[in-house]
Structure 1
Amino acid sequence: MTAAAVAAALAAGTPAVTAPPAAAAPEAAAAAGADLPFTSVEAESATTTGTRIGPDHTQGTLASEASGRQAVRLTAGQRVEFTAPRAANALNTVYSVPDGQTGTLSVYVNGRKLSRTIPVTSKYSYVDTPWIAGSKTHHLFDDARLLLGQNVQAGDKVALEATGTQVTVDVADFEQVAAAASRPAGSVSVTDRGADPSGQGDSTQAFRDAIAAARGGTVWIPPGEYRLTSSLNGVQDVTIQGAGNWHSVVRGSRFIDQSSGSGDVHLKDFAVIGEVTERVDSSPDNFVNGSLGPDSTVSGMWLQHLKVGLWLTGNNDNLVVERNRVLDMTADGLNLNGTAKNVRVRDNFLRNTGDDALAMWSLYSPDTDSSFENNTISQPNLANGIAIYGGTDIQVKNNLIADTNALGSGIAISNQKFMDPFFPLAGTITVSGNTLVRTGAMNPNWQHPMGALRVDSYDSAIGATVDITDTTITDSPYSAFEFVSGSGRGFAARNVTVSGATVGNTGTVVVQAETPGAATFRNVRATGVGAAGVYNCPYPAGSGTFALTDGGGNSGWDSTWSDCSTWPQPGRGDPGPDPDRNLAKGRPATATGSADVYTPGKAVDGDADTYWESTNNAFPQSLTVDLGSPQAVRRLVLKLPPQAAWQARTQTLSVQGSTDGSAWSTVVASRGYRFDPATGNTATVALPGGTNLRHLRLQVSANTGWPAAQFSEVEVYLTD
């Protein structure tokens, strides 16, 4: 089938079937995703004696990192049985075993046990990155492949049985692997230079000698396994070619490491499988680290168990990266790290990356006129499917992205710089024809969700033109489109147009606007919206507004979430403000001054034992709380810590209110309020007639118990 069929199958939660590129229909180039040489079948759709787990979107769980958010758990002796969807002679399995354990999967075809088994291990899983705020142990799945030694026909039954340990099976990929290719005429074989195809000896020097001898020609990697113990450099004006990525295998965690080169390097049709078991950002444990030089290509590769597939710096102009498989990286799949022009990354398959699957980062100079097109991305477990961090005239077109996890959206268009010198988004950023399935995640640092497609003015306002067209968003656990300044500094996101989008079964809202800016929406049609059409609450308070312009043709999302003081929950609708809820809890709080660690946020954190204390001996002092939206407030409850050590005292204060943060009025005139531990150290302030305010200010002019203003909690209610 074409990539369009893959997209439809993923969206429906059914197995996806693809044909090899040569058999692709003409319309495939305009469809979402890559044309793949294998067929994927989800374990949860198969017959099993095990236990189906999921769906789940909770960070750190097996189901949350699984394709479709579901998988099948097998204890020793239990099976999952797939119906082969096509002729195949090879099987790749996505699995997880408990940390510290190993075992095997026995393989049965039509009830007959094969002599070949699939080893399973936790060695490449359970990655920790404590320097990344909010991350938990992740990267819970792994891939293992097997040439079956026989042909399987469509409709045959292929079973996997756990042996020696519990195994959670996620997906099985069925593939018809072609016979090994023949040696190109005139090529220099690595075995002629002493490489050991058994994988026992160190073949590093043989590879270096072959590359030096083949300048202007081809290095041939015959079928076999070759062990490299260090990286190659000085690679230029050469083709390095294998017999096919199931036949020619390099075992090593670093392949090419060079900062520059004259280019014309072509890497094709072999596998590089590493031994990276943890993420060390200072180590170049990558297939390519640095530069291949201009006019280079990478195609037909199988890359697995590395830190990054391709970490590209320096001159990589006119690079083409196509038809590769990138699996089980502990960090990015590919990162175009500045200074490159006219790079095309297309028709690749990426699964289970530990950071952005595909990224452009415009450090030192902008990535320019480059694109990510027709790629299929599944299960990035700690970042985005595709991320564009700055750059000029970038295109993200016709990609299929599914099942992002913590700290990630399906697609992020961002001015997050990470470090300087950074070149923000400029020119026209085209995001067209992409399909996002179950993308977006709860951000554990923000304590609110990230949308399926995110426009993020993180470190600076977005001045580029951002055109988002013909997008399909299906089953996002939270929002479809998010506009945010992720640093919390309120930089504007402007010049955005969203047109021709189809949104189905989004968990919360269609548009999540959290920063100033503006976007035009036309022909955006939504069904199955979980809470409301729009959440429009820019942060921080007073930073501005986000303007949504209706360009016509929109439907299914005309409601607005009514209470900016709380986040929409998936699938619960908008209940309106809860009159019995404390509207101030967790809201932004500021003050004229603070003593030591007794900061304003302590007065709205929900903990009566922590408190704000103003600068001492400097009355008057004030505390201000932003409720997020205008509310008809009727009652305040002011608290001090309830311990007996807090002797009774009277604080003299007035209450002021504002709807816009600039024009203030006195709601309750100044008077004394007694706080006594014998009665809970609490004072209640009634507001006349349900006073409409968004910003609440307590102005304190005296305190009989201490020379400062003090509150452990400021609670705000809509009821008397």
Structure 2
Amino acid sequence: MSRSFTAVLAAAAVAVSTVLGGGSAALAQDGAAPVVTRAALDPSLVSGRGARVGFVEQEAENATTDGTVIGPDRTPYTLPSEASGRKAVKLTPGQHVEFRLPSAANAITVRYSIPDATGGGGITAPLDITVNGAAKKSMTLTSRYSWLYNQYPFTNDPNADLLHPDWWITECSCVPAATTPAPAIAKPFRPFHFYDEQRLLLGRTYRAGDRVRLTVPAASTAAWTVIDLLDTELVGAPRVRLVAANVLAFGADPLGRRDSADAFDRAIAFARRNHLKVYLPPGTYQVNRHIIVDDVTIEGAGSWYTIVKGREVALEPPAPDGSVHAGVGFYGKDASAGGSRNVHLSGFAIEGDVRERVDTDQVNGIGGAMSDSTVDGLHLRHTKVGMWFDGPMTNLRITGNVIVDQIADALNFHTGVTNSVVSDNFVRNTGDDGLAMWSERTANAGNTFDHNTVQSPVLANGIAVYGGADTTVSNNLIADPVREGSAIQVGSRFGAEAFTGRLSIRDNTTVRAGTFELNWKIGLGAIWFYALDKSIDAEIEVRGDHYLDSGYNAIMLVSEWAVKDLYSIANVRFKDIKVDGTGTSVVSARVKGSASFENVDARNVGAVGVNNCGSFNFPTTGSEFSLTDLGGNDGGGTTGPWLAAWELPNTITCDDRPPVIVPPAPSPW
């Protein structure tokens, strides 16, 4: 058989696998060029957007394997739905997936899933790594930090009964009374948060074209191993700081056998007295509580080399702040005590031990209040929230961090954070909003989320803004939200202060967003505005965004049924937008109010361009939501132009649950 004919067969096999949502990719060519992606897309489609990172992404479904490609699937509680690009490769013992390096690399990150233990709590299983058939190394994979179940705030027990038997259970469309037995549910109930990731230094630098093979040993304890993707990176040498307060001189243990928290405190105190930086040399340091930081610079040798790792410790009695556990974290002083200033953290990893969500727990990687401070080049995983800030505080710069595998948010500006910037951060696999600004009780103001990448939040939104003033969300890349949220949310909810001043949302790209809301049983938008606690009527402009491959709507404006006649969303301006693929509409309006549209181009629209329900009173004068056409709104789908004259200004076109048309993959405009 000729090589060209074999290549044709290989391409056909992959195509059939994609259409059927599974199948063997064993025919893929050993000599195939690596397929580099960003958020499982051709990088040209997201040029200039998202975090500028030092690693290169390759999806397992594009690699050579004798395993099975699973997906695509956007249905919650399935392995493909939480995978990057909604596809992955499933291996059984003895099978492998092999990647070719697109550029020189000496380090890899593997995103994977293995089964939970029967009674919960996770298992471990091996994974072998070879390069060019030699230089064998091994990883010990674990599901200890994945697999949650049931209702909020979730449990690790797959056999648990309903945590809230009196809550609405969407799966059975019933409202069980609190005094009656809970309805029968299949167990495990609502499994999710399937994935975890691990990093590995390869010990030497390999060249572009070298083959990295991941093999599940034949004697693996895991019935299956799912590989989602491989990130490859060329990591530089460890950073050395000779003139500094070296934590080793104060008794820190770089082998992680003894708790080094007190040694860190001594080094910080010495550094402050002598106007020095604190240096964390290569090593793994055990720290099981908060390190309080104020007016200090702490530098590691780099996040691949310096690891600060803690155990979760039960507290009895609970702490005054309500925490029932302690864990590793670097915290500014509480705002009530004046907060901290001039804190600079860089070049190390923080690894927690958080396996359950307890909202009162302060078991975050970074926390407290830090003004005039910077956080740069950290790698955070397995904490509750990577970074949670309680103001008032001002002028914080958070740049170049990687935050993965969190039980809740990656980052939250909570209460009174002002004039601060979050940029070039990479976020993957959060259990709640990826990046959030939450103006609870005290408004945030003057903050910017810029050039960040957020992938695969398994619950809630990629980026969420809850109230506040003069906010900018720009140049971000958000991909693959799974349930009860979408890529970008502007929400008047959770007791947030009102939106005031200007809200600018510009030049962002979303992909495979516009999820299905399991409680409402309707499709959301890739971007959605939600007026629940009060009206949204600030100066809001959405400009230059690209909404790609939205499962339902591209844009949604909505209120809750109980307050639909109380609150509105008014005068939102959409300009210079591109919409490539919607399962349903470009715009879905389920609220009273108004919006204008200028140069909004759309194609591959699955349903009527504007699904206008207003606030569901259906007056004879038309919908309570009106649209203004400012010109240049082109394109559409099978039903015609997306913004047609007959839809303006407020024609009722309400279809509560329109049929969904799966859009084609995004392509250059």
**TM-score (normalizing by structure 1):** 0.74
**Partner Cα separation in structure 2 for residue 295 and residue 546 of structure 1:** 43
* Structure 1 segments unaligned to the other structure (5+ residues): 1-7, 19-27, 574-720
1:73 corresponds to which of 90, 102, 106: 90
Q: Within the alignment, does 1:358 sit opposite 2:432 as a pair?
A: no
Deviation track 1:146-201 (CA, whole Å, cap 9, x = no partner) reads 1111222111111101131211000100001111011242x111111100000111
Aligned partners of 1:432 and 1:471 also within 8 Å: yes
2:538 corresponds to which of 464, 474, 481: 464
Structure 1 match to 2:643: 558
Q: Within the alignment, does 1:40 sit opposite 2:57 as a pair?
A: yes
**Partner Cα separation in structure 2 for residue 16 and residue 161 of structure 1:** 31
Aligned partners of 1:14 and 1:45 also within 8 Å: no
**Partner Cα separation in structure 2 for residue 486 and residue 174 of structure 1:** 45
1:489 corresponds to which of 559, 563, 577: 563
Structure 2 match to 1:119: 140
Structure 2 match to 1:219: 278
Structure 2 match to 1:349: 426
Worse-matched range after superposition: 435-444 or 237-246 = 435-444
- What one-letter code is carried by the residue in structure 1 that aligns with 2:612? N
Aligned partners of 1:88 and 1:175 also within 8 Å: yes
**Partner Cα separation in structure 2 for residue 562 and residue 205 of structure 1:** 66
- Please tell me whether Structure 1 or Structure 2 has the larger radius of gyration of its CA atoms: 1
Q: Within the alignment, does 1:58 sit opposite 2:134 as a pair?
A: no
- What one-letter code is carried by the residue in structure 1 that aligns with 2:56? T
1:281 corresponds to which of 352, 355, 359: 359
- 2:202 partner SS: strand
Aligned partners of 2:582 and 2:605 also within 8 Å: yes
Aligned partners of 1:428 and 1:465 also within 8 Å: yes
- What one-letter code is carried by the residue in structure 1 that aligns with 2:291? L
Structure 2 match to 1:191: 248
Matches for 1:501-540 after TM superposition, within 5 Å:
501-540=577-616
CA-CA distance at 1:562 after TM superposition: 8.0
Aligned partners of 1:17 and 1:85 also within 8 Å: no
CA-CA distance at 1:139 after TM superposition: 1.2
**Partner Cα separation in structure 2 for residue 494 and residue 217 of structure 1:** 53
Aligned partners of 1:16 and 1:40 also within 8 Å: no
Structure 2 match to 1:147: 201
Relative contact order, higher structure (CA 8 A, sep 6+): 2
2:505 corresponds to which of 431, 440, 444: 431
Q: Within the alignment, does 1:392 sit opposite 2:469 as a pair?
A: yes
Aligned partners of 1:488 and 1:539 also within 8 Å: no
**Partner Cα separation in structure 2 for residue 11 and residue 224 of structure 1:** 32
Aligned partners of 1:254 and 1:284 also within 8 Å: no
- 1:191 partner SS: helix
Aligned partners of 2:588 and 2:610 also within 8 Å: yes
Q: Within the alignment, does 1:175 sit opposite 2:233 as a pair?
A: yes
**Partner Cα separation in structure 2 for residue 380 and residue 512 of structure 1:** 23
**Partner Cα separation in structure 2 for residue 547 and residue 553 of structure 1:** 18
Structure 2 match to 1:131: 152
CA-CA distance at 1:222 after TM superposition: 0.5
- What one-letter code is carried by the residue in structure 1 that aligns with 2:414? N
**Partner Cα separation in structure 1 for residue 44 and residue 344 of structure 2:** 31
**Partner Cα separation in structure 2 for residue 17 and residue 48 of structure 1:** 27
**Partner Cα separation in structure 2 for residue 54 and residue 273 of structure 1:** 31
Structure 1 match to 2:395: 318
Deviation track 1:340-371 (CA, whole Å, cap 9, x = no partner) reads 11010001000000000000000121110101
Aligned partners of 1:276 and 1:330 also within 8 Å: yes
Change (3 A) 1:73 1:16: farther
- 2:61 partner SS: helix
Worse-matched range after superposition: 97-106 or 509-518 = 97-106
CA-CA distance at 1:254 after TM superposition: 2.5
**Partner Cα separation in structure 1 for residue 562 and residue 552 of structure 2:** 20
CA-CA distance at 1:16 after TM superposition: 8.8
Aligned partners of 1:89 and 1:152 also within 8 Å: yes
Aligned partners of 2:256 and 2:286 also within 8 Å: yes
Deviation track 1:109-155 (CA, whole Å, cap 9, x = no partner) reads 1122x342121111010123623677933211101111111222111
- What one-letter code is carried by the residue in structure 2 that aligns with 1:212? A
- 2:269 partner SS: helix
**Partner Cα separation in structure 2 for residue 458 and residue 385 of structure 1:** 19
Q: Within the alignment, does 1:97 sit opposite 2:114 as a pair?
A: yes
**Percent identity for Structure 1 against Structure 2:** 42
**Partner Cα separation in structure 2 for residue 363 and residue 320 of structure 1:** 21
Aligned partners of 2:615 and 2:624 also within 8 Å: no
Q: Aligned residues, how many?
A: 548
Change (3 A) 1:116 1:497: same
Matches for 1:705-720 after TM superposition, within 5 Å:
none
- What one-letter code is carried by the residue in structure 1 that aligns with 2:250? R
**Partner Cα separation in structure 2 for residue 15 and residue 82 of structure 1:** 18
- What one-letter code is carried by the residue in structure 2 that aligns with 1:170? D
- 1:272 partner SS: strand
**Partner Cα separation in structure 1 for residue 540 and residue 288 of structure 2:** 45
- 1:198 partner SS: coil
Q: CA RMSD in A?
A: 2.1
Worse-matched range after superposition: 450-459 or 383-392 = 450-459
Q: Within the alignment, does 1:272 sit opposite 2:350 as a pair?
A: yes
Aligned partners of 2:403 and 2:427 also within 8 Å: yes
CA-CA distance at 1:307 after TM superposition: 0.5
Structure 2 match to 1:331: 408
Change (3 A) 1:569 1:481: same
Change (3 A) 1:76 1:11: closer
**Partner Cα separation in structure 2 for residue 568 and residue 375 of structure 1:** 33
Worse-matched range after superposition: 536-545 or 137-146 = 536-545
Aligned partners of 1:316 and 1:341 also within 8 Å: yes
- What one-letter code is carried by the residue in structure 2 that aligns with 1:534? V
Structure 2 match to 1:376: 453
Deviation track 1:672-711 (CA, whole Å, cap 9, x = no partner) reads xxxxxxxxxxxxxxxxxxxxxxxxxxxxxxxxxxxxxxxx
Matches for 1:608-627 after TM superposition, within 5 Å:
none
Q: Within the alignment, does 1:232 sit opposite 2:291 as a pair?
A: yes
Aligned partners of 1:217 and 1:237 also within 8 Å: no
**Partner Cα separation in structure 2 for residue 17 and residue 455 of structure 1:** 25
Structure 2 match to 1:545: 624
Aligned partners of 1:17 and 1:40 also within 8 Å: no
- What one-letter code is carried by the residue in structure 1 that aligns with 2:430? T
**Partner Cα separation in structure 1 for residue 662 and residue 432 of structure 2:** 31
Structure 2 match to 1:108: 130
**Partner Cα separation in structure 2 for residue 57 and residue 33 of structure 1:** 22
- 1:199 partner SS: coil
Structure 2 match to 1:604: none
Change (3 A) 1:88 1:482: same
Deviation track 1:302-321 (CA, whole Å, cap 9, x = no partner) reads 00011001110023300000
Aligned partners of 1:202 and 1:227 also within 8 Å: yes
CA-CA distance at 1:565 after TM superposition: 5.1
Q: Within the alignment, does 1:162 sit opposite 2:216 as a pair?
A: yes
**Partner Cα separation in structure 2 for residue 365 and residue 313 of structure 1:** 10
CA-CA distance at 1:541 after TM superposition: 2.7
